[in-house]
Structure 1
């Protein structure tokens, strides 16, 4: 049996940057979303426990599939093996992660034609 690929997904969630590992990632049928399935977390046999990974385990406990907006995705990598999931602060001014500029759609404004 061949080893299944592991993907590292880095994305924005509110003012934080999530770095997680999953076995299945694909374009969603819902327009503008990526589907992420089969989250992979580190083994519990480690002596040191990472609090951010524990927070992610608790937040995604029981989640079969997560839909992440394309605008929130920073990067997706196929990696050789899983690592530790983590959360970092994405709002600091000295960080090197910036949001992609997104103007959105302007709604409700019509030009007046006489």
Structure 2
């Protein structure tokens, strides 16, 4: 296993479920987001091209850091090695077991001693 960990991040983006791999992931200073850095895309054989992975490579080309809303994150795993990035469509009305975690829209205000 390499010295730096590899993380698989699965999140929902509109009607799609996206699976990406990255070397660094942490909670952002912006409330309600995680930061994902050093995205990994497999440099597989040039003979076989995965259109979904190519679409993600194009979408994230030039991106140094991506901010993903916490409520969109489905799962984060630390894995032994990177895999293939994927995009899966979720059709409207299709039965799925993925539900966004309910979160307040603003952070709670600290209570004063008068309350």
TM-score range normalised by the length of the shorter chain: 0.7 to 0.9
Deviations 1:38-84 (A, max 9, x none): 00001142532110000000000000000000000000000000000
Give the Cα separation in 2 of the matches to 1:96 and 1:16: 14
State the shift of 1:98 in Å: 3.2
Give the Cα separation in 1 of the matches to 2:31 and 2:46: 39
Q: TM-score, normalised by structure 2?
A: 0.81
Q: Find out whether 1:74 has 2:74 as its counterpart.
A: yes
What number of residue pairs does the alignment pair up?
Answer: 104
1:97 is aligned to 98
Deviations 1:10-53 (A, max 9, x none): 00111100000000000000000000000000114253211000
Structure 2: tracts of 5 or more residues without a match? 107-115
After superposition, the CA RMSD in angstroms is 1.8
Measured at CA, do residues 55 and 25 of structure 1 come closer, stay the same or move farther in structure 2, by a change above 3 Å?
A: same
- Secondary structure of 2:34's counterpart equals strand
1:110 is aligned to none
Q: TM-score, normalised by structure 1?
A: 0.81
